[in-house]
Amino acid sequence: MATDTADRDRGPAGWVCRWFSGRWVAAHGRAGLMVDDHDAAAPAVQERLGQRRLPVVVTGVAG
């Protein structure tokens, strides 16, 4: 979910993430939200959804 800066703090990201997470959990038992470290607003959305941050390491393989 990417939210334009002008639309932040109005609730659309939280609403969409809550809706999607609820349906994903119902179908699969769990859900996650990936957040970039440079996005200061996203952790607040996660907290409101009752999610917790877990560190993730991603790498690519050239080839």
Cα 54 to Cα 63: distance, rounded to the nearest angstrom = 29
Cα 63 to Cα 61: distance, rounded to the nearest angstrom = 6
Q: Which helix (H) or strand (E) holds 15?
A: helix 12-28
pLDDT given at position 23: 92
Each domain of the chain, given as residue ranges in start order, spans: 7-48
The mean pLDDT value of the chain amounts to: 79
CA–CA distance from 21 to each of 5, 6, 15, 38, 59 (Å)?
A: 23, 24, 10, 22, 26
User: What's the whole-model pTM score?
Assistant: 0.56
pLDDT given at position 1: 60
